[in-house]
Amino acid sequence: MSRKLSKTIVHPPREVRKFDLAKEGHTVGGAAYLETPIDLGAFDYVEEEYLIKGDARVYSWPDANDVPIIVNENGHYCTRIIVRKPSDPQRFSGVVCFESFNGSFTIDHSNAGWGLCCEEILASGDAWVGYTKDGNCLESLRKINPAKYGEVQFPNPLPEQERGEPGWDPLYEYFHAHGIPVPIELDSSYERGLVFDMTFQLNALIKSRQENSPFHGYDVVKTIGIGINDYNTYIAGFQDYMFLPDERPVIDGYLMYMTGGGGWISYHEDMFGFTDPRCSRRCNVPVIRVETSGDLRDIPPHPLWAALWRCEDADEPGNQSRWYEIPGLGVCAAFRQDISCFACEEDYAKLNTSRRDKEKAEKYWNQMCWHIYAGAYHNLKLWILQGILPPKADVIQLTGEYPKMDFVVDEHGNHIGGVRHPYVEVPAARFDDDSTIEMFDHEKLTSLYGTKEAYIEKVRQYAGKMVEERWILPMAVEALVRQAEELEW
């Protein structure tokens, strides 16, 4: 019999087993097995991998003005997590960032969390945890190493004859209508709805002092959900009801990126509609949402109209949020080009495939995806730990109404509004929301700046201004100036 979700005391999963990597095989998506390998030992960090089993409920949420409903309490899951932490517990900051792997490229990847923040994580002594949640990635793990990952699955607790059809999803509807390959196929044997209880249980494990916790002996103070995920659903429906036995929130803050809408409550539940109020709610912990300009309207691969669920900034305790938009940044350019956190080719080869749609490396590309995101991560920690409020920004200016909306642009064709950065304030190109870049020719650059040296100095000055205003970290200035120096004049 179904019942409404109410205050829940969350306990760790029932089974936690550390993999013996020397005997069971390397970690898929591990730091040493990425497209751009990382030597964690050089930073005095260690990496571990665990198999996690637990019990979870399945929910429905038919009324946006009410709370989710528990419709099945017989679910079980088996996933894996990757843990990166300082080798010396005394160097640990007390903060753990908790990232759901993205499954859009068949094998788990962490380009939108670890990939954007790894320098700040490592420099601060923070820890990071990544977990597998998407059905296609669970299947990929089983195929890559069946002996090691054979148990990972989110089995649908309903008998096959009772599962019905998958719920409505605007992303899939758009892809099918335009003949675009669907990145993640929906399978009725996989119940993604188990992920909600699982996520909070994993955070409870991280904060517990159990001997089988990956953080036994580490003083965990706060956990932060980061990366691409339907965190809107967690925030609107679950966060305010999930507590540890000592009454603390299980998760202490969220840093969302390219957030998408919300929903995916269960296999057969519809995604939230574009104007659903649950996509822009706040909760009892601070939330920062970072959107690319390519997310704001119906540009694939994210034709989800994020402009319709803009969330107003708020500072009062229990209702704290920031909404940031990055002008000139399309979805396809929203990962870094200097490093890659996709799995290595060796693991893709085991699936008889390779990573699809490898991005074309641009000589001049908008690096603000990671500089602004890393700055937001740093600011979110200050907000959670010390109560220091993050900066605020205007939204990108749009004209028209849904579904006929367009950007307001300046004399160079670049977006107006949003978090202002050198690519639009000291422009050398026009950036569109579909990720195209039109470089200015020598004549225009000269008319704007006179000399290349003058251009470089303007970039340096504006980057320094962003540091002063707490949008980016000091390390970003060097990267932005170096790119300006490499610009073909």
Per DSSP, the residues of 186-230 read --TTB-GGGHHHHHHHHHHHHHS--TTSTTTTS---EEEEEESS-
Collapsing DSSP to helix, strand or coil, 422 comes out as helix
C-alpha 73/C-alpha 71 separation (Å) is 7
Cα 324–chain centre separation: 14
The Cα–Cα gap between 282 and 313 comes to: 10
pLDDT value for 359? 58
**Distance between CA atoms of residues 235 and 285, nearest Å:** 9
Q: Which helix (H) or strand (E) holds 438?
A: strand 437-439
What residues have CB less than 8 Å from 254, skipping those under 6 apart? Answer: 224, 225, 226, 231, 234, 235, 285, 286, 287, 288
Which structure tokens are listed for 136?
């296609």
What pLDDT, on a 0 to 100 scale, did the predictor assign at position 176? 84
The CA distance from 341 to 82, in Å, is 13
pLDDT recorded at residue 182: 75
Identify whether the C-beta of residue 268 lies closer than 8 Å to the C-beta of residue 163.
Answer: yes
According to the model, what pLDDT value does residue 360 have? 63
Mean pLDDT estimate for the chain: 95
Q: What is the pLDDT of residues 429-483, one digit of tens each?
A: 999 999 999 999 999 999 999 999 999 999 999 999 999 999 999 999 999 999 9
Beta partners for 290? Answer: 257, 324
- Rounded-to-integer distance, Cα 203 and Cα 83, Å: 12
**115: helix, strand or coil:** helix
H-state helical runs in 214-297: 231-233
Q: Are 120 and 378 in contact (CB under 8 A)?
A: yes
Q: How far is CA 7 from the centre of its chain?
A: 27
- Specify the pLDDT at position 267: 93
Q: What does DSSP say about strands 69-86 and 45-60: parallel, antiparallel, or unpaired?
A: antiparallel
Report the chain's C-alpha Rg in angstroms.
Answer: 22
For residue 172, what pLDDT is reported?
Answer: 82
Cα–Cα dist 405/158, whole Å? 42
Give the chain's residues under pLDDT 70. 1, 183, 356-361
